[in-house]
Chain A
Amino acid sequence: MKDYTKGKRPEMLEPFLPNELLRHLIVSCFLIILEMVAIMVFPLPWKIFNKPDHIPWFLLPLYQLRTLMQNEVVFISAVVLSALLFIAWPFLVCDRKYRMSSLRNAEDRNSNHAWHGKELHNLWYRPVLFTIVISTIIFLITLCFIKT
């Protein structure tokens, strides 16, 4: 198990019990409330998307893609390729510069340098990756609104 006390001053730590456990209990209560509200509200009385009733909101982009792509082989290949790209994402975007900053971060955990290392990994600071991710999200959302 990872030891968080290494190289840290006592004021940088807090007890797991009760702090973290209580935090999880509070959010779990919110989840249960959310589920109860969802039970009362679902299925929604209004239609946001133009879709058949049996297609859930999270499968809508796939459904629209299926209707847009007439060829079944192309559709399945596109879905499998997208799934593989999605799974292999950390290995595809691995960059030596960022890998080095990650290693420095591990060595020098409490310094300002480590903070900069963490910032570099944030997607906001990597314009190409940020553009790819945002374009994909916009593409998926747009697919939901296309009338086929």
Chain B
Amino acid sequence: MTNEIWNQGIVRELIETNITRRLIPRGLSWFGCMGGLSLVAFIIQLGTGIFLMFYFIPSATEAVASIQKVSHSIPYGWLVHRIHAVGPHVMIGMVLSHMLRILFKGIYRHPRELHWVSGACLLILTLIMYYTGYLLSAVNRSSHSAIPMTFVYALHIAGIPLAMGLFMGMHFFMVRKTGIYEPL
């Protein structure tokens, strides 16, 4: 089946048009990579978050013990936990740098208004994502919290990431459609 698809040339054509034979404008700025870096930071958060999901128990009585188990008993668990805790600072720094570049260079203008709208929504969602993550660790510390931990956890691992995925899809689709900001 895979060979058939390859022989028909669909996959080959996709790879050639998108990667190997693709031409882009010369002299793109290194600062133009900030958007890509934000994506890399998000992927790091996603990877470490999925790892932590296997061990974290979203219950007021067992949450602290589960995180301690990750940090002390699982090989390199402490590193994954630390990356997941510190990563948002780097990610938000990258997103803010990307946004400031777009703002000062006026790249949000026609026909790229919706790039800005989706990007701004992504920034707000990133901040909410950090806040729910913080609430999870705060609920960990105080077992008598008013907000149910399972609700915050569901938001943190499913609700907001799904919304972010939707906006990211929109953002990348529009970037693909209208193209990047070209130097002259």
Which residues of A approach B to under 8 Å, CB–CB?
1-2, 4-5, 8, 11-17, 19-21, 23-24, 27-28, 31-32, 34-35, 38-39, 42, 54, 56-59, 83, 86-91, 94, 98-99, 102-103, 109-110, 114-115, 118, 121-124, 126, 133
Contact = CB atoms under 8 A, between A and B. Distances in A.
Interface of B: 17-26, 28, 30, 33, 36-37, 40-41, 44, 79, 82-83, 85-90, 92, 94, 96, 103-110, 112-113, 116-117, 120-121, 124, 127, 130-131, 134, 138, 176-180, 182, 184
The majority secondary structure among interface residues of chain B is helix
B164 to A, nearest CB: 15
Given A15-B22, A23-B33, A57-B89, A86 B179 contact: no
5 contacts: A2-B177, A28-B37, A58-B96, A118-B184, A133-B103
A1 B23 contact: no
Given A13-B26, A56-B89, A115-B184, A89 B108 contact: yes
* Listed residue (B22, B44, B117, B178) with the most chain A CB atoms within 10 angstroms of its CB: B22
B179 A4 contact: yes
A4 B17 contact: no
Contact of A99 (B20, B44, B89, B110): B110
A90 B116 contact: yes
A114 B22 contact: no
Nearest to A123: B104
A35 B93 CA distance: 11
A86 B100 CA distance: 12
Nearest to A84: B120
A102 B117 contact: no
Contacts of A27: 30, 33, 36-37
